[in-house]
Chain A
Amino acid sequence: MMSTLLMILICLGLAYFLAEVFRKIGLPRVVGQIIAGLLLGIGALRTTIFGQNNMDVLTFLANLGIVLLFYYVGLEMNLKAFVKNIRKSALISVFNTTAPLILGFFLMRHFFHLDNIASLVVGIALSVSSQAVSVDILDELKLLKSRLGNIIVSAGAVDDVIELTLITILLSAFHISLSKISVFALLVDIALFLFIILILRALIVPSALKFFDREKSSTARFTGALIILLSIASLAELLQIGSFIGALVAGMVIRQTIFKTKSIPNWEEEDIANSLHIIAFGFLIPLFFVWIGINTDITLISRNIWLILLLTAIATVGTVGGTALAYRAGKGSLKEGWIIGWGMNPKGDVELVIAALALNAAIITSSTFTALVMMSLLTTIISPIVFERLISKHSKKEREKEDKHINMKRKPKKA
């Protein structure tokens, strides 16, 4: 077995290198980081680098990564945008999350004979998506402010809230099935947790934020953000709700406090979110993706190849088709709906968290886990490529149309 530090260096170094390589060919970093894990997980390599001890450390760091990820998601969760866009995008969001969810659930339940909760895990993992890659592409093509770009961003904001609600329900379901506590006991715990959070939010968090700003340094503010996160996450853990939901709530509480309390000038939600983003995505979250890769058994891929392809197909058909239909129903053209659908399709973080948790809790088998990871990988590789092609072609046409329009307008003037 190797020294733990060396293990961390190898994981992080390979993840960094492959992420940059994939970045160069226009694919999201996640892909490179998971593949780094897949490589490190190969038999002999795995046994030399990771003994039981090192694997425990990596698991811990990966878990910490998930906590930070959820904290970040909570900090970035824009309820205002949700309210603003809900009327415009509700149809799209509901369609593109429920279509893969229902398809996936019934398929797993009836054809693969998984039990209810495992099917639910697969369904939700198929329905979750993350638009970060698409937003990146839109930004690069300078189309973020365009009509389609706007729709994707706003539907994404609504999507996030729906998906997080689903995940919260799922995580609670895990707890009930695992710790065999009754639904009632869990509800009492949740009520207690929310009650404490409300008290904290009203009495302690605002003055705590002010307190941490006393030194006027970003380090002190970040310490404060960390301490609040860890306290709330530990509280959630003690109340058996799970640290991830705790982290999510902590993020939302801090965001709310910063927005509502005008008297804490130096606390900028963006500042904290930015530091958190860099530290999490530069250190702990890559380790989580590597962990995912290591725990994916490559030997199971060929045996489950049809399951993998099927899941990928359902995820894609469900999301893209669902979006296109919803857009059509909202009196848009089917073609534009198709493009938006591909923009909504990439995955890359939260569904992996669900899969990892379900694997740890022995709710899904290692072959289902492998299939989910491969599905996520494939979707995340394919979608940006298709989306970039479609949207740049579309915008070119749009521009030509506009040019014609302008030309037609100009001509009479000249005459």
Chain B
Amino acid sequence: MNVLITIALCLFAAFIASEIAYRLKIPVVVGQILIGIAIGLPAVKGLVIADNNGIIQLMSDLGIIFLLFLAGMGVSWNRMVGARKDIFMMSVFGSFVPFTFGFIVMKVLGYDNLLALIVGVCLSITAEGTNARLLMELKKLRTKIGAMMLGAGIIDDVIGLLLFITIASLLGQRIFTADMEYSPLEMIGFFAILFLTFKILPTLIKYEERERGDMREVSLFMTAMLLCLMFAIFGMLITGTMTGSIIAAFAAGVIIQLSLKRKEEENIKKHFEIMALSFIIPFFFIGIGINFDYTSLTINMPIIALITLAAIVGKISGVLLTKPFTHLSWKQLHLIGWGMNSRGAVELVIALMALKTGLITTSIYSAIVVMTLITTLIFPFVLRFLVKRNPRIMS
């Protein structure tokens, strides 16, 4: 199958799905994920994707990186810093409580410690993508709750990353290949680059803005692109996972926000945003569905229900537990809880790794996969519902 036709079909499908979703008044993201699942059906996948899986995977990776980069530019950094204590508490409770829930549920069901540990970790990690896109869609990225949701999610990602490394070493797997050896030197290099970018960027942008005509905008566009890719790759080199590059892309967005004036930021962002939202990011959401691996699924309803329930209840009660430490209302905490409830990044990698080493059974693996889908799909509805009922809940 010609790659171009695959790309065309995927974008077209994503577009149709978003249109239908728009008509049915459900979040567009949900439509795109669902159409991805439909494309992922073995029969359809063979027809549409065929041997172009690599390209779709690349576009999907670029999609999540660009998405978090845009989110980093869009989110209100001041609000995030202002609420840093709240954010920290939320991410700690938000990952610790569901972890305990998952662990206990599995122990009660009579599984061994290691398996319970793995399931617990899988329940504790938040995935950021859906959150960010949805906040953009509803234009709530600049609000206080939006900032807290994303901030807590990012810290949660860091925690998830650490857990992932721990688990991986528990499983006796070397996740770092030889040339990606984690070293303090790389960390220092990363921070040096962070600092340099912060210092050099304004000069570079000033230089570019002096150019004439539309080449000026091409240069600005390329700068955004290169910055985003550079950080993402650094994140990947240091941590060895996609999550690292997602966090780093977010950091790149924040750096742009902090080091440039508002006008310059708008200029650099304008065309990047058009490209990312219309061309690349849809592939991330389709990718969620396409990667849904039907062949290894066995449906065991009770376990699916239990794990999903543990995930949702754990996350939300975890966030609600921070009430004494924050000044937010119950309703707002409830909303943030749902926001941190989306999953589907690191936990899928962990689950797959554990499945391959034979530490969890297929039915538990399937339950985790289904759980990530359900939690990701619920949040958009909840957010829309809550915001509609109380339009000022986010501020």
Contact = CB atoms under 8 A, between A and B. Distances in A.
B61 A5 contact: yes
Interface of B is mostly: helix
Nearest to A243: B4
A222 B278 contact: yes
Interface in A1-33: 3-6, 8-9, 12-13, 16, 20, 23, 29
A230 B229 contact: no
Contact of B5 (A219, A226, A237): A237
Contacts of A226: 11, 278-279
Given A4-B58, A57-B55, A60-B3, A278 B221 contact: yes
Contacts of B211: 23
A279 B213 contact: no
Contacts of B233: 3, 5-6, 9
Nearest to B55: A60
Contact of B212 (A139, A219, A243, A286): A139
Contact of B4 (A227, A233, A281): A233
- Which of A53, A139, A140, A243 has the most B CB atoms < 10 Å from its CB? A243
B274 A279 contact: yes
A231 B9 CA distance: 8
Nearest to A246: B4
A43 interface: no
B271 A279 contact: yes
Contact of A219 (B225, B232, B245, B277): B277
A53 B278 contact: no
Contacts, number: 120
A227 B13 CA distance: 10
Interface in A42-88: 53, 56-57, 60, 63-64, 67
A7 B24 CA distance: 42
A93 to B, nearest CB: 25
A266 interface: no
Given A20-B219, A226-B11, A227-B15, A275 B5 contact: no
A391 B180 CA distance: 55
A209 to B, nearest CB: 14
Interface string A225-256: 01100110110011000010000000000000
B12 interface: yes
B305 interface: no
A210 interface: no
Contacts of B7: 64, 230
Contact of B215 (A9, A29, A222): A29
A146 interface: no
A9 B226 contact: yes
Contact of A230 (B12, B222, B225): B12
Interface in B1-27: 2-5, 7-9, 11-12, 15
Interface in A193-228: 218-220, 222-223, 226-227
B2 A219 contact: no
A233 B6 CA distance: 12
Nearest to A59: B3
Nearest to A247: B4
Interface in B52-72: 54-55, 58, 61-62, 65
A329 B217 CA distance: 42
Interface in A79-125: none
Nearest to A233: B4
A290 B273 CA distance: 24
B271 A275 contact: yes
A234 B236 CA distance: 35
A283 B219 CA distance: 10
A222 B218 CA distance: 17
Contacts of B3: 60, 63
A234 B4 contact: yes
- Which of B219, B232, B278 has the most A CB atoms < 10 Å from its CB? B278
Given A63-B4, A234-B5, A227 B11 contact: yes
B271 A233 contact: no
A282 B271 contact: yes
Interface residues of A, number: 45
B199 to A, nearest CB: 18
A275 B229 contact: no
B181 to A, nearest CB: 15
Nearest to A28: B215
A399 B118 CA distance: 81
Interface in B188-239: 211-215, 217-219, 221-223, 225-226, 229-230, 232-233, 236
A333 interface: no
B258 interface: no
Nearest to B18: A223
A233 B5 CA distance: 8
A328 interface: no
A283 B225 contact: yes
B171 interface: no
A64 B4 contact: yes
Nearest to B2: A237
B229 A12 contact: yes
A175 interface: no
Given A139-B212, A226-B11, A9 B271 contact: no
A365 interface: no
A278 B225 contact: no
Contact of B230 (A4, A13, A63, A233): A13
Interface string B58-90: 100110010000000000000000000000000
Contacts of A274: 214, 217
A231 B8 CA distance: 6
Which 10 pairs of residues, A with B, have the shortest CB-CB distance? A230-B8, A282-B221, A223-B278, A9-B229, A234-B8, A278-B271, A282-B222, A279-B275, A282-B218, A234-B5
Given A218-B274, A275-B275, 9 more contacts: A13-B230, A220-B278, A231-B8, A237-B5, A278-B221, A279-B271, A282-B222, A282-B271, A283-B275
29 contacts: A5-B58, A5-B62, A5-B65, A5-B229, A5-B233, A9-B229, A13-B229, A16-B219, A23-B215, A57-B58, A63-B4, A67-B4, A219-B273, A219-B278, A230-B4, A230-B11, A233-B4, A233-B8, A238-B5, A243-B4, A275-B271, A275-B274, A278-B217, A279-B279, A281-B218, A282-B217, A282-B219, A282-B222, A283-B275
Interface of A: 3-6, 8-9, 12-13, 16, 20, 23, 29, 53, 56-57, 60, 63-64, 67, 136, 139-140, 218-220, 222-223, 226-227, 230-231, 233-234, 237-238, 243, 274-275, 277-279, 281-283, 286
